[in-house]
Amino acid sequence: MVPRARTGRLMTAAATPAQSDPDALYRDRAQLARAREALDIWETRLKADPRDFESSWKIARGAYWVGKHEDRDAGRRTLERGVAAGKQAATLQPQRPEGHFWGAANMGALAESYGLRQGLRYRGQIKEALERALEIDPAFLDGSADRALGRWYHMVPGLFGGSETKSEAYLRKSLTYNPNSILSRFFLAETLFARDKDAEALDELRTVIAATTDREFEPEDREIQAKAAEELARRAKDKR
């Protein structure tokens, strides 16, 4: 039997590397404090080396997650950090999709936080960054640029360039890279509802709920599955 004091020291020693590894911390992002700690580490690294591409795009990715889980004012500040980091990454490596994509993701979340009227000011920058990511690597993150553009066309009013028809086309294109994408299918369901294709949309929601989560994006997938279940329950209640 290992003495208790010795066990405590062994546990502390084993925990130290994980705590200093931002990638390990970020994998545990369902605990928001871990994601914030990872962000702090990447930002420290980027300050030490402003040409650190990996830290810059990971800040943008992390800021997107953290900012969406904070209250409005704090979230906007975090998302603005993500926009800046994404632009820095895109400047450092313009032929890589990460900076373009995650910068656009942060701008999209900012736009949603401000509401339709103010949020529209981001629409051009978002679309341009996503189209650039799509041009560089259509398969990036299993068609994430197509998915995000599909969402863009759904969220932006038709007067300003939005189109539910184009939204559906982009979302279906994203599913050619990963037919099991929970997020793509959830967004597709919302677009199908907007197109009065309710039966297809309900099928998509059921598929989302029954799907196996992606190990790399499990926290995001579980949140989307919960939203799908709520939406399905709400629509069932409305039919009674």
**pLDDT tens digits for 197-219?**
999 999 999 999 999 999 999 99
Amino acid identity of 162?
G
Give the pLDDT band (50/70/90) at residue 16: very low
Gyration radius (Cα) of the chain, Å? 20
In a domain, residue 108? The reply is yes
My answer on whether 194 and 131 are in the same domain is no
- What's the domain count of the chain? 2
- What is the residue range of 136's domain? 26-145
Cα 87 to the chain's mean position, in Å? 16
My answer on whether 136 and 190 are in the same domain is no
- Name the residue with tokens 């309710």: 198
My answer on whether 124 and 232 are in the same domain is no
Residues 6 or more apart in contact with residue 19 via CB below 8 angstroms: 25, 37
Question: Which CATH number is 42's domain given?
Answer: 1.25.40.10
CA pair distance 98, 57, nearest whole angstrom: 6
My answer on whether 139 and 62 are in the same domain is yes
Confidence (pLDDT) at 236: 87
Share of the chain above pLDDT 70, in %: 92
DSSP state of 240: -
End-to-end C-alpha distance for the chain, whole angstroms = 62
Residues 6 or more apart in contact with residue 63 via CB below 8 angstroms: 39, 78, 79, 81, 82, 85, 106
In a domain, residue 47? The reply is yes
My answer on whether 202 and 137 are in the same domain is no
Span 169-177, average pLDDT: 98
Question: What is the number of residues in the chain?
Answer: 240
pLDDT tens digits for 54-102? 999 999 999 999 999 999 999 999 999 999 999 999 999 999 999 999 9
Span 137-143, average pLDDT: 97
Share of the chain above pLDDT 90, in %: 88
Give me the DSSP letters along 75-144: HHHHHHHHHHHHHHHHHH-TTSHHHHHHHHHHHHHHHHHHHHHHHGGGHHHHHHHHHHHHHH-TTTTTTH
Q: Residue 239: pLDDT above 90?
A: no
Confidence (pLDDT) at 118: 85
